[in-house]
Amino acid sequence: MAHLCLGARNRLRDDWESVDVAQEAALRICRSSTEFRGMTEAQFLAWARTVVRSVVTDAGRRRAAAKRDAERLGASEGEWVLGDAHATTPTPSQVAMGAEAAEKFLSALARLPEHESELIVLRKLCGCTFEEIADELDTGTAARARARLARALGNLAKELDL
């Protein structure tokens, strides 16, 4: 996940958007994992980078379209117009706080054992059911996957000092 965020941030130059893009890329990777045909970790990483590039391209197109729409409607710079909803871009301090929180989360997630971080990513970022997690990680039953996730989240909370 950290690689996804860093890759997206390098391309977008926007901390908030890069976290959103990394999450969207992680979801796409999870949902389309059956399409992956490689055999090695290097092949998987190359495939994942392709997914990230696709999501970044889509985000850039959405940003350009929103900017064009805002300009057509006479919106001031930094104001996004989406239907009837108006949202302003985050302030620099909000961006800094969000980037710091995202980095803290990703760092804590990376310190967990791999089996725990996989559980959290599958459930919280990919939205997998406990049955899907049990199948994917060979944990046996959905109840066992649920119990392991509870332990993993407890360990994540400790890593985050919550």
Class of domain 1-89: mainly alpha
Judge whether 130 and 101 are in contact, CB under 8 Å. no
Tell me the pLDDT tens digit for each residue of 82-119. 444 444 556 666 666 676 777 788 888 889 998 898 88
Indicate whether this model's pTM tops 0.75.
Answer: no
Question: Which residues make beta-bridge pairs with 52?
Answer: none
pLDDT at 113: 93
Low-confidence ranges of the chain (pLDDT < 50): 1-2, 6, 77-78, 80-87
pLDDT at 86: 43
89 DSSP assignment: P
Structure tokens, 160: 């985050």
Return the SS3 of 79.
Answer: strand
| Angstrom distance (rounded) from CA 55 to CA 61 | 10
Average pLDDT of the chain, as a whole number: 75
Compute the CA torsion angle 30, 36, 114, 143 (nearest 10 deg): 50
